[in-house]
Amino acid sequence: MTEAKSAGTATLTVDGKTVELPVLAGTDGPNVIDVRRLYAETGMFTYDPSYTSTASCDSELTYIDGEVGILRHGGYSIEDLAEKSSFLEVCYLLLHKELPNKADLEDFQDTITNHTMIHEQLRNLYSGFRRDAHPMAVMIGVVGAMSAFYHDSTDINDPQQRLIACHRLIAKMPTIAAWAYKYSVGQPFMYPRNDMSYAGNFLRMTFGVPAEEYELSPAIEKAMDRIFILHADHEQNASTSTVRLASSSGANPFACIAAGIATLWGPAHGGANQAVLEMLDQIGDKKNIPEFLERAKDKDDPFRLMGFGHRVYKNYDPRAGVLKQSADEVLEELGARNDPLLELAMELEKIALEDEYFAERKLFPNVDFYSGIILKAIGFPTEMFTVLFALARTVGWIAQWKEMIEDPAQRIGRPRQLFLGQTEREYVPVDKR
Ligand code: SDX
């Protein structure tokens, strides 16, 4: 890991005591005040319940500038990677922090291709779920259960086993996700094929049937691969932070990724793509947009404009821009150019961005606003949208896991608190209460 540079000190005076805290500079983005000695020197904690001003770790993987709307992996812009790279090449970049040469890319693709099948006993796990189980519940169950199967890649102190765990998770997620869909619709599971691309294999396992050859559309295959790239990693978001905290205890990688999937499911995070489609269905027609915008502003109304706003981006999420362009291309390919949902979403975006409430709070469309429209056009049910997010984000989670485990300075994460409960008091026997 690159060493942080000293950028002077911060002076803190509290309770008549003055402490000098080191200020550290990274290669890009805000400097940090190193508060690791604060408690020892002042007897006080910092207080930042939802981590709005807290850097939880060092990382070289992904850089975001929310003010400008920049997202880079290993220094490469998301726009460049979405246009010129492939999802497996981005996976290699996140695992190794460098783009592969031709030979390494081919080796990596072969490795992933040859790990796409899952243990047949894992297949039996699906039948324990109800057919109408939310597929994210199935994903948590099946991925967590991988801990019980792949014992030769759970020793986190063995670099080779760590790499195999990364390869297995990246390779098997499309199979696990596609089978969650097949199970929900009562169709037979389709096995992966070694002569197809990562995205093509996933589309065939999801929409193909044994009764006929699956007709793969190259344009949809490319759009699927691009959607995976756009969801691959995103710095220290809620689900990635969960994976890092779970991993800091030494838990095996499969259990940690299952924890990440669980966190991503929430509608404030990865579950927003499903919530956007449900919101658009609820709005129904352009004439209802003003009423829903008023509801979104009403503090007493739980309604939020799903797919809008972001903790970091106070500008347009660069991924939303690429997805909006992709939506046009996919709908064109599917002959659904004038999809009323896309029309409604674009009108909603236009009116919201002109509205003072959204403008002054810098609420812009995020990655989830357009992704659902494309996924619905391709044929995925809304319950599968967050599953696709988890499929793509697995490489980000596991790359962040690998980076943390390989950092010699890492220790178990253990936040403290501001205690507001009862101070000491005598126990009162029940017959005296
Ligand atoms: C993802 O962190 C990541 O990187 C996540 C992600 C990734 O790739 O991993 O980018 C993926 O999770 C994208 C976000 C998807 N979620 C949604 O689209 C759900 C809708 N968005 C909001 O719930 C909200 O914007 C969050 C959760 C995304 C961000 O919440 P914050 O940072 O805590 O912002 P906030 O709630 O403090 O909002 C600030 C103000 C508040 O108003 P005031 O109290 O200042 O008057 O903006 C308002 C909020 O009420 N606001 C919204 C709003 N989002 C924020 N008002 C209406 N609709 C919204 N969507």
Q: What is the amino acid identity at position 257? A: I
User: Does the CB atom of residue 150 touch ligand 1 within 6 A?
Assistant: no
Our answer on whether the CB atom of 226 is closer than 6 Å to any ligand 1 atom is: no
Digit-coded pLDDT (tens) for 108-154: 999 999 999 999 999 999 999 999 999 999 999 999 999 999 888 88
What pLDDT, on a 0 to 100 scale, did the predictor assign at position 1? Answer: 84
Q: What is the pLDDT of residue 151?
A: 86
304 CA: nearest ligand 1 atom: 58
pLDDT score at 353: 92
Q: Is the pLDDT of residue 73 over 80?
A: yes
Residue 414 has pLDDT above 90, yes or no: yes
User: For residue 387, which of 101, 84, 183, 176 has the smallest C-alpha distance?
Assistant: 176
Ligand 1 mean position, distance from CA 93 (Å): 29
Reply yes or no on whether the pLDDT at 311 is more than 80. yes
For ligand 1, atom 21, name the residue with the nearest CA: 309
What is the per-residue pLDDT for 155?
A: 87
Sorted by sequence, the CB contacts under 8 Å of residue 346 that are 6+ apart come out as 324
Please tell me the predicted confidence (pLDDT) of residue 152.
Answer: 84
368 given a catalytic annotation: yes
Distance 298 CA to ligand 1 centre (A): 15
Residue 412 pLDDT: 96
Task: Over range 189-213, report the average pLDDT.
Answer: 98
Is the C-beta atom of 69 inside 6 A of ligand 1? no
When pLDDT is cut at 50, 70 and 90, the band that residue 200 belongs to is: very high
Candidates 134, 310, 317, 355; catalytic one:
310
Contacts 24+ apart (CB under 8 A), 127-134: 127/183, 129/183, 131/183, 131/184, 131/186, 132/184, 133/184, 134/383
Does 338 score more than 80 pLDDT?
Answer: no
Q: What's the pLDDT at 287?
A: 96
Instruction: Give residue 310 CA to ligand 1 midpoint distance, Å.
Output: 4
Please give the pLDDT value at position 337: 72
Q: How far is the CA of 325 from the centre of ligand 1 (A)?
A: 23
Q: Cβ(367) to ligand 1 under 6 A? A: yes
Which band of pLDDT confidence, cut at 50, 70 and 90, is reported for residue 105? Answer: very high
Helices (H) and strands (E) in the chain, counts: 18, 6
The alpha carbon of 363 and the centre of ligand 1 are apart by a number of angstroms equal to 8
310 is catalytic: yes
C-alpha distance from residue 391 to each of 170, 227, 282, 362 (Å): 8, 11, 27, 29
**Mean pLDDT value of segment 379-406:** 97
Across the chain, mean pLDDT equals: 96
219-234 pLDDT tens trace: 999 999 999 999 999 9
